[in-house]
Amino acid sequence: MKIFKLFILISLCAYLSNCFLTRERYEEIKANVNFEVMEYESFLQIFGNKKPEEMFVHQGKNHLLGEAELEYINKKKTEEVFLEATPLNEIEKSSNGGIILPEYFDWRVIYPQCFYPPLNQGDCGSCYTFSSTFSLESRMCIKGKGLYSYRLSQQDILSCDVNNNKCFGDTIVNTFKFLENYGTCSSGCKPYVSGSLSVPSCAYSCANRFEPFIRYRAMKDSFWASNSTDDIKANLYSYGPLSTMMQTYEDMSLFKSNGVYEHKYGKQTDYHAIALIGWGKDKIKNREYWILRNSWGMDWGDNGYFKVYFNDLDSNNYVCGSLPMI
């Protein structure tokens, strides 16, 4: 079966504010899609009104991993997927010992306290930090059975990881390596301030003097990646949200709906890192979809979330994540 083709490749995620849409282009796209779109004024509120010559300033590209990273991922894929740390009291098993997964699953239903409203990354191509921090912080909260909620800092990664490209993107695998080796502090300690492309230098103290400077890390060598639908579902169900990426198009920037997003019209604008939180099934079309969290604020999509059919995304991509060290 053709699967949701997700990512662990490079995510040079230019924000869709680089996708300049005139009123005329907006009307043209609106007339050629079959989903609800936001008003043009709302589009400008979220994405701004960039000049045409400012389009594609980040020039995000979907590059393959290096040989060492691919070898590492393939080795991980052959190892057993650990399932003992389930957040549920029991996982139903089939006669052959496999997991029987539900037709619909959404972590927001089980632990709503682990999900704060999606933030807006602004003009900075920092989607890789939002995807990875959300994956780790939600897994921390889920591991604690929802008793403690965490909000991790994207800004600490942007400012302190010397191997990333700041507002010009980075690989998710590199970001998880940083989270395993160094971790990141709370967003209360270092709030996100790079929405306008300014990245302050790394500081080993909190902007808020009432917050302790503590970095929360991912478990060493816990990084996991797969492009198998069954493995992705099992890992997501057992541990919590995962990171991935997708291609973005002009029509995606206009999406304002609780339905399923399908690219219908417009040029590709970039590649973009997002987070996977569940799945479901469109009974009318008899098609399964993933439930995803974006970093374009709550006025986009379905309060910052959206759905995409399993087989409607980019090819040869992976889903990945690490386990929290708590």
Active site residue 294: yes
Q: How many CB atoms lie within 10 A of CB 258?
A: 12
174 tagged catalytic: no
Identify whether 164 is a catalytic site residue. Answer: no
Beta bridge partners of 125: 168
Helix (H, G, I), strand (E, B) or coil at 324: strand
Catalytic: which of 127, 160, 167, 185?
127
- The catalytic position among 160, 294, 317, 320 is 294
Distant-in-sequence contacts of 118-121, Cβ < 8 A, 24+ apart:
118/293, 118/294, 118/295, 118/296, 118/297, 118/298, 118/303, 118/304, 118/305, 119/192, 119/295, 119/297, 120/46, 120/195, 120/295, 120/296, 120/297, 121/15, 121/154, 121/192, 121/195, 121/295, 121/296
Question: Of the residues 124, 235, 272, 320, which is catalytic?
Answer: 272
Rounded to whole angstroms, the Cα distance separating 156 from 165 reads: 14
Residues with catalytic roles: 127, 272, 294
